[in-house]
Structure 1
Amino acid sequence: MKVHSQLGNGFPEVIYQRCLAIELNKTELSFIKEFEMTVYYDSINVGVRRVDFLIEDKIMVELKAITRLEDVHLAQAINYLEAFKVETGLLINFGSKSLEFKRVTNEMKLKKEL
Structure 2
Amino acid sequence: MPRIINDNVLYPELSYKLSGIFFSIHNKIGRNLNEKQYSDAFEESLKNNEIQYVREKALPPSFVGEKERRNIPDFIICDKIIIDFKAKDFITKEDYFQMKRYLSSYKKELGLIVNFRQKYLYPKRILNIN
Q: Normalized against structure 1, the TM-score is what?
A: 0.85
Q: 2:101 aligns with which of 79, 85, 103?
A: 79
- Please give the secondary structure, in 2, of the residue aligned with 1:98: coil
Question: 4+ residue stretches of structure 1 with deviation over 6 A?
Answer: none
Greater strand share, structure number: 1
Tell me how far 1:29 sits from its aligned partner.
1.6
Q: Equivalent residue for 1:22?
A: 44
Distance 1:75 1:53 in 2: 17
Amino acid at match of 2:127: T
Alignment of 1:2-81 (within 5 A): 2-41=24-63, 44=64, 46-47=66-67, 48=69, 49-81=71-103
Match of 1:97 in 2: 119
Once residues 111 and 57 of structure 2 are traced to their aligned partners in structure 1, the CA distance between those partners, rounded to angstroms, is 14
Encode CA deviations 1:69-111: one digit per residue, 9 max, x unaligned.
Answer: 122211111111112221111110001111131001112xxx3
What secondary structure sits across from 2:108 in the alignment? coil
* Runs of 5+ consecutive residues of structure 2 not aligned to the other structure: 1-22
Residues of 1 paired with 2:47 and 2:40: CA distance? 11
Paired AA for residue 62 in structure 2: Y
Q: Aligned residue pairs: how many?
A: 106
TM-score, normalised to structure 2, is: 0.76
Question: How far did 1:37 drift?
Answer: 1.8
